[in-house]
Copies of this chain bind each other. A is one copy, B any other.
Amino acid sequence: MEDEIKITEVALRDGLQNEKKFIETESKFKFLKLLEEAGFNHIEITSFVRKDKIPALADAEEFSKKLNFNDDKSYSALTPNSIGLEKAIELGYKEIAIFGAASETFSKKNINATIQESIEKFKEVSIKAKQNSIKIRAYISTIIHCPYEGKIDSEKVIFLIEEFLNQGAYEISLGETIGLATSFEVEELLSKILKKFPAKLFAGHFHDTYSFALGNVSKSLEMGIRSFDSSAGGLGGCPYANGASGNLATEDLVFFLESSGYKTNIDLEKLILASKFIEEKLSRNLISKTYLAKK
């Protein structure tokens, strides 16, 4: 349906990995259940990387073992390499995510590889994923601004999109990593991308560092995008990006979409209960405006 929006809830992975406090596996699982009760079907669970690299997600395996992969939820895990992919497959994941950057410097700092090297690594992952009938979602970060390089050439984004589509990704999540892009810049980039590819291949992943995110969602909707990523309560951000105080809060996204006449199938009150639960565990105050106004 034209007016139904897919929301990928990223608080458990993208959110928690940038929170200082480690959340116990049991609490992560409770948070997941609360999110599911609110109606989420697409949930990013964790990341399979070296445990010392992202301590917040060091329990990736233990947490994943608690999941029921046979129900109708779409759980995904970040698998930057073949070892991670194998672990994900072994645990039962049917969807994985790979993660590239349109900025050379950001790629090196974030995943310790040049863009070309990262593509080669992802190719290996993708081939193996397809052999195992695993769905592939691809993130492209720093699509407009990079904290190190400034404005990014849209050709670099388009190059990565082509590459990931060739590797078999069913959806590309366009990551505006540092929250600096305005709706005018989003319009400029999307108009170039959508000349070449259909809108249904893309999700918008906007950070809300300076409150620009919903304006970018609005512009993306106007241009035909019907899939967005967000994080319950606005959890997380990006540890490598200066001042990136957080992902777009799912509360703000859902309330904006519903107020705009789109269907999300998310129960906002139940979502707020999930955020309240994790807020207590994190012992810090969430600042999503919709959350604050309605909690």
Instruction: Please name the 3 residue pairs, one residue from A and one from B, whose CB atoms are nearest each other, closest first.
Output: A215-B215, A243-B293, A183-B218
Given contacts A183-B218, A208-B289, contact A294 B243 (CB under 8 A): yes
Q: Which of A78-86, A129-137, A253-261 contacts B (4 or more CB under 8 A)?
A: A253-261
Size of the chain A interface, CB-CB below 8 angstroms = 31
A281: interface (CB < 8 Å): no
The residue that A218 contacts in the complex, of B218, B249, B292, with Cβ under 8 A, is B218
A27: interface (CB < 8 Å): no
Min CB distance, A42 to chain B, in Å? 22
A22: interface (CB < 8 Å): no
Closest B residue by C-beta to A242: B293
A219: interface (CB < 8 Å): yes
Give 5 new A-B contacts, CB below 8 A, not counting A211-B288, A215-B217.
A183-B218, A183-B260, A210-B290, A211-B289, A243-B294
B256 engages A293 (CB within 8 Å): no
A105: interface (CB < 8 Å): no
Complex CA–CA separation, A292 to B287 (angstroms): 10
**DSSP majority for the A interface?**
helix
B-contacting residues of A (Cβ < 8 Å)? 180, 182-184, 208-215, 217-219, 243, 245, 249, 252, 255-256, 259-261, 287-290, 292-294
B214 engages A289 (CB within 8 Å): no
Min CB distance, A18 to chain B, in Å? 14
Interface centre among A211, A215, A260 (most CB of B within 10 A): A211
Complex CA–CA separation, A270 to B259 (angstroms): 36
B293 engages A210 (CB within 8 Å): yes
Closest B residue by C-beta to A208: B289
Complex CA–CA separation, A2 to B236 (angstroms): 38
Complex CA–CA separation, A260 to B186 (angstroms): 11
Min CB distance, A212 to chain B, in Å? 6
The residue that A211 contacts in the complex, of B183, B214, B294, with Cβ under 8 A, is B214
Given contacts A208-B211, A293-B245, A294-B243, contact A182 B219 (CB under 8 A): no
